[in-house]
Chains A and B, each alone.
Chain A
Amino acid sequence: IVMTQSPDSLAVSLGERATINCKSSQSVLYSPNNRNYVAWYQQKPGQPPKLLIYWASTRQSGVPDRFSGSGSGTDFTLTISSLQAEDVAVYYCQQFYNTPLSSFGQGTKLEIK
Protein backbone atom coordinates (compact mmCIF):
# COMPACT_ATOMS: atom_id res chain seq x y z
CA ILE A 1 0.00 0.00 0.00
CA VAL A 2 1.47 3.35 -1.08
CA MET A 3 0.84 6.38 1.11
CA THR A 4 1.05 9.77 -0.61
CA GLN A 5 1.11 12.98 1.40
CA SER A 6 0.34 16.51 0.29
CA PRO A 7 1.77 19.03 0.32
CA ASP A 8 5.47 18.18 0.63
CA SER A 9 5.98 21.39 2.61
CA LEU A 10 3.73 23.91 4.25
CA ALA A 11 4.22 27.34 5.85
CA VAL A 12 1.54 28.56 8.26
CA SER A 13 1.34 31.61 10.52
CA LEU A 14 1.35 31.16 14.28
CA GLY A 15 -2.17 30.64 15.56
CA GLU A 16 -3.50 29.61 12.16
CA ARG A 17 -4.73 26.19 11.04
CA ALA A 18 -2.41 23.69 9.39
CA THR A 19 -3.80 20.84 7.29
CA ILE A 20 -1.83 17.88 5.95
CA ASN A 21 -3.36 15.27 3.66
CA CYS A 22 -2.55 11.60 3.14
CA LYS A 23 -3.97 9.29 0.49
CA SER A 24 -3.60 5.51 0.46
CA SER A 25 -3.45 3.50 -2.76
CA GLN A 26 -6.16 1.18 -1.41
CA SER A 27 -8.67 1.34 1.40
CA VAL A 28 -7.25 0.88 4.89
CA LEU A 29 -10.69 0.61 6.48
CA TYR A 30 -11.22 -2.80 8.09
CA SER A 31 -14.97 -3.30 7.92
CA PRO A 32 -15.42 -5.84 10.76
CA ASN A 33 -14.30 -3.27 13.36
CA ASN A 34 -14.88 -0.10 11.29
CA ARG A 35 -11.35 1.09 12.01
CA ASN A 36 -9.01 2.88 9.67
CA TYR A 37 -5.48 1.58 10.09
CA VAL A 38 -3.71 4.91 9.79
CA ALA A 39 -1.37 6.69 12.20
CA TRP A 40 0.27 10.11 12.21
CA TYR A 41 3.74 10.97 13.53
CA GLN A 42 5.66 14.13 14.31
CA GLN A 43 9.44 14.20 13.94
CA LYS A 44 11.62 17.07 15.10
CA PRO A 45 15.29 17.40 14.06
CA GLY A 46 17.60 14.97 15.82
CA GLN A 47 14.71 13.11 17.46
CA PRO A 48 12.87 9.85 16.75
CA PRO A 49 9.28 10.12 15.54
CA LYS A 50 6.49 10.66 18.04
CA LEU A 51 3.11 8.97 17.63
CA LEU A 52 0.33 11.59 17.55
CA ILE A 53 -2.78 9.83 16.20
CA TYR A 54 -3.80 6.20 15.56
CA TRP A 55 -6.95 4.59 14.12
CA ALA A 56 -6.96 7.76 11.96
CA SER A 57 -8.55 9.90 14.68
CA THR A 58 -7.59 8.66 18.18
CA ARG A 59 -5.15 11.00 19.90
CA GLN A 60 -2.25 9.35 21.69
CA SER A 61 -2.08 10.05 25.44
CA GLY A 62 -0.41 13.38 26.18
CA VAL A 63 -0.85 14.84 22.69
CA PRO A 64 -2.35 18.35 22.77
CA ASP A 65 -5.95 18.57 21.59
CA ARG A 66 -5.04 21.06 18.87
CA PHE A 67 -3.93 17.97 16.93
CA SER A 68 -6.75 16.02 15.29
CA GLY A 69 -7.06 13.34 12.64
CA SER A 70 -9.92 12.61 10.28
CA GLY A 71 -10.83 10.65 7.18
CA SER A 72 -11.79 7.15 6.15
CA GLY A 73 -11.11 4.63 3.43
CA THR A 74 -8.31 6.15 1.37
CA ASP A 75 -8.25 9.84 2.33
CA PHE A 76 -6.98 11.17 5.63
CA THR A 77 -6.15 14.53 7.18
CA LEU A 78 -4.05 15.74 10.09
CA THR A 79 -5.14 19.15 11.36
CA ILE A 80 -3.37 21.45 13.80
CA SER A 81 -6.06 23.90 14.83
CA SER A 82 -3.82 26.71 16.06
CA LEU A 83 -0.17 26.41 15.12
CA GLN A 84 2.38 26.83 17.90
CA ALA A 85 6.10 27.40 17.44
CA GLU A 86 6.87 23.97 18.89
CA ASP A 87 4.83 22.30 16.13
CA VAL A 88 7.52 22.98 13.53
CA ALA A 89 8.47 19.47 12.41
CA VAL A 90 8.09 16.89 9.69
CA TYR A 91 4.82 14.94 9.81
CA TYR A 92 4.32 11.42 8.47
CA CYS A 93 1.29 9.26 7.93
CA GLN A 94 1.58 5.48 8.16
CA GLN A 95 -0.71 2.59 7.28
CA PHE A 96 -0.72 -0.63 9.28
CA TYR A 97 -3.68 -2.26 7.54
CA ASN A 98 -1.85 -5.31 6.23
CA THR A 99 0.07 -5.98 9.44
CA PRO A 100 2.86 -6.97 9.82
CA LEU A 101 3.47 -5.11 6.57
CA SER A 102 3.40 -1.32 6.80
CA SER A 103 4.41 1.83 4.94
CA PHE A 104 4.90 5.55 5.53
CA GLY A 105 4.08 8.60 3.50
CA GLN A 106 6.99 10.68 2.22
CA GLY A 107 6.57 13.33 4.91
CA THR A 108 5.36 16.93 5.06
CA LYS A 109 7.64 19.65 6.39
CA LEU A 110 5.74 22.23 8.44
CA GLU A 111 7.27 25.66 8.99
CA ILE A 112 6.22 29.03 10.37
CA LYS A 113 5.24 31.70 7.85
Chain B
Amino acid sequence: EVQLVESGGDLVQPGRSLRLSCAASGFKFEDFAMNWVRQAPGKGLEWVAAITWNSGSIGYADSVKGRFTISRDNAKNSLYLQMNSLKSEDTALYYCAVGLPPESWGQGTLVTVSS
Protein backbone atom coordinates (compact mmCIF):
# COMPACT_ATOMS: atom_id res chain seq x y z
CA GLU B 1 0.00 0.00 0.00
CA VAL B 2 1.31 3.42 -0.96
CA GLN B 3 1.97 5.65 2.03
CA LEU B 4 3.07 9.27 1.96
CA VAL B 5 3.61 11.04 5.26
CA GLU B 6 4.34 14.75 5.26
CA SER B 7 6.00 16.53 8.17
CA GLY B 8 7.63 19.83 9.04
CA GLY B 9 4.64 22.13 8.92
CA ASP B 10 4.60 24.88 11.56
CA LEU B 11 3.67 28.45 12.43
CA VAL B 12 6.38 30.78 11.15
CA GLN B 13 6.84 34.50 10.77
CA PRO B 14 6.89 36.17 7.36
CA GLY B 15 10.35 36.15 5.82
CA ARG B 16 11.46 33.03 7.66
CA SER B 17 12.25 29.58 6.26
CA LEU B 18 10.80 26.11 6.70
CA ARG B 19 11.64 22.67 5.33
CA LEU B 20 8.94 20.11 4.63
CA SER B 21 9.60 16.39 4.32
CA CYS B 22 7.62 13.53 2.83
CA ALA B 23 8.41 9.92 3.76
CA ALA B 24 7.32 7.45 1.10
CA SER B 25 6.69 3.71 1.36
CA GLY B 26 4.82 0.93 -0.39
CA PHE B 27 6.19 1.61 -3.88
CA LYS B 28 9.53 1.93 -5.67
CA PHE B 29 10.16 5.59 -4.86
CA GLU B 30 13.16 5.96 -7.20
CA ASP B 31 10.97 5.16 -10.24
CA PHE B 32 8.41 7.93 -9.83
CA ALA B 33 8.11 11.66 -10.23
CA MET B 34 6.96 13.49 -7.11
CA ASN B 35 4.95 16.64 -6.46
CA TRP B 36 4.09 19.20 -3.83
CA VAL B 37 0.56 20.60 -4.05
CA ARG B 38 -0.92 23.06 -1.58
CA GLN B 39 -4.39 24.16 -0.55
CA ALA B 40 -5.02 27.41 1.29
CA PRO B 41 -7.82 27.27 3.88
CA GLY B 42 -11.16 27.05 2.09
CA LYS B 43 -9.53 27.39 -1.32
CA GLY B 44 -8.70 25.17 -4.29
CA LEU B 45 -5.67 23.10 -5.16
CA GLU B 46 -2.48 24.83 -6.28
CA TRP B 47 0.33 22.82 -7.85
CA VAL B 48 3.61 24.00 -6.28
CA ALA B 49 6.51 21.94 -7.62
CA ALA B 50 7.47 18.64 -9.19
CA ILE B 51 10.66 16.62 -9.62
CA THR B 52 11.34 13.69 -11.94
CA TRP B 53 12.61 10.33 -10.73
CA ASN B 54 16.30 11.21 -11.08
CA SER B 55 15.99 14.93 -10.24
CA GLY B 56 16.84 15.60 -13.88
CA SER B 57 13.84 17.86 -14.45
CA ILE B 58 12.27 20.20 -11.90
CA GLY B 59 9.43 22.67 -12.21
CA TYR B 60 7.89 25.35 -9.98
CA ALA B 61 4.75 27.42 -9.95
CA ASP B 62 5.43 31.09 -10.68
CA SER B 63 4.15 31.96 -7.20
CA VAL B 64 7.06 30.12 -5.51
CA LYS B 65 9.84 30.23 -8.11
CA GLY B 66 13.06 31.56 -6.62
CA ARG B 67 11.86 31.01 -3.05
CA PHE B 68 11.09 27.27 -2.86
CA THR B 69 13.36 24.34 -3.72
CA ILE B 70 12.16 20.78 -4.26
CA SER B 71 14.57 17.90 -3.81
CA ARG B 72 14.58 14.17 -3.18
CA ASP B 73 16.77 11.49 -1.67
CA ASN B 74 16.04 8.18 -3.37
CA ALA B 75 18.22 6.30 -0.87
CA LYS B 76 15.96 7.53 1.94
CA ASN B 77 12.67 7.35 0.02
CA SER B 78 12.13 10.99 0.88
CA LEU B 79 10.94 14.18 -0.80
CA TYR B 80 11.66 17.67 0.50
CA LEU B 81 10.49 21.25 0.01
CA GLN B 82 12.76 24.02 1.24
CA MET B 83 10.67 27.16 1.61
CA ASN B 84 12.46 30.50 2.03
CA SER B 85 11.21 34.08 2.30
CA LEU B 86 7.80 32.85 3.37
CA LYS B 87 4.78 35.09 2.83
CA SER B 88 1.32 35.10 4.39
CA GLU B 89 -0.09 33.82 1.09
CA ASP B 90 2.00 30.65 1.50
CA THR B 91 -0.29 29.62 4.37
CA ALA B 92 -1.78 26.28 3.30
CA LEU B 93 -1.99 22.56 3.76
CA TYR B 94 0.92 21.11 1.79
CA TYR B 95 0.42 17.72 0.16
CA CYS B 96 3.05 15.35 -1.15
CA ALA B 97 1.82 13.32 -4.15
CA VAL B 98 3.37 10.61 -6.35
CA GLY B 99 3.25 10.35 -10.12
CA LEU B 100 2.39 12.51 -13.09
CA PRO B 101 -0.50 13.00 -12.82
CA PRO B 102 -0.42 12.52 -9.05
CA GLU B 103 -2.21 9.27 -8.26
CA SER B 104 -1.59 8.93 -4.50
CA TRP B 105 -1.51 11.69 -1.94
CA GLY B 106 -0.51 12.13 1.69
CA GLN B 107 -2.73 13.73 4.32
CA GLY B 108 -0.79 16.99 4.24
CA THR B 109 1.14 19.16 6.67
CA LEU B 110 -0.06 22.62 7.67
CA VAL B 111 2.10 25.68 7.15
CA THR B 112 0.94 28.94 8.72
CA VAL B 113 2.81 32.14 7.96
CA SER B 114 1.85 34.88 10.36
CA SER B 115 3.43 37.42 12.67
A99 touches B45 (CB 8 A): no
Whether the Cβ atoms of B103 and A51 lie closer than 8 Å is yes
Q: Mark contacts of B7-45 with chain A using CB atoms, 8 A cut-off: 1 yes-contact digit, 0 otherwise.
A: 000000000000000000000000001010100000011
- Assuming the A-B contacts A100-B58, A104-B45, are A48 and B107 also in contact, with contact meaning beta carbons closer than 8 angstroms in the complex? yes
Quick one: which of B50-84 are within 8 Å of A by CB?
A: 50-52, 57-59, 61
- Please report the total number of B residues contacting A with Cβ < 8 Å: 25
Residues of chain A lying within 8 A (CB to CB) of residue B52: 100
Mask of A40-52 contacts with B, CB within 8 angstroms, 1/0: 0101000011110
Interface presence of A92 (CB below 8 A) = yes
Tally of chain A residues near chain B (CB < 8 A): 23
> Is A49 in contact with B100, judged by CB distance below 8 angstroms?
no
> Is residue A76 within 8 Å, beta carbon to beta carbon, of the partner chain?
no
Using CB atoms and an 8 Å cutoff, list the residues of chain B in contact with chain A.
33, 35, 37, 44-47, 50-52, 57-59, 61, 95, 97, 100-108
Seen from chain A, the residues whose Cβ lies within 8 Å of a Cβ on chain B are: 39, 41, 43, 48-51, 54, 60, 90, 92, 94, 96, 98-107
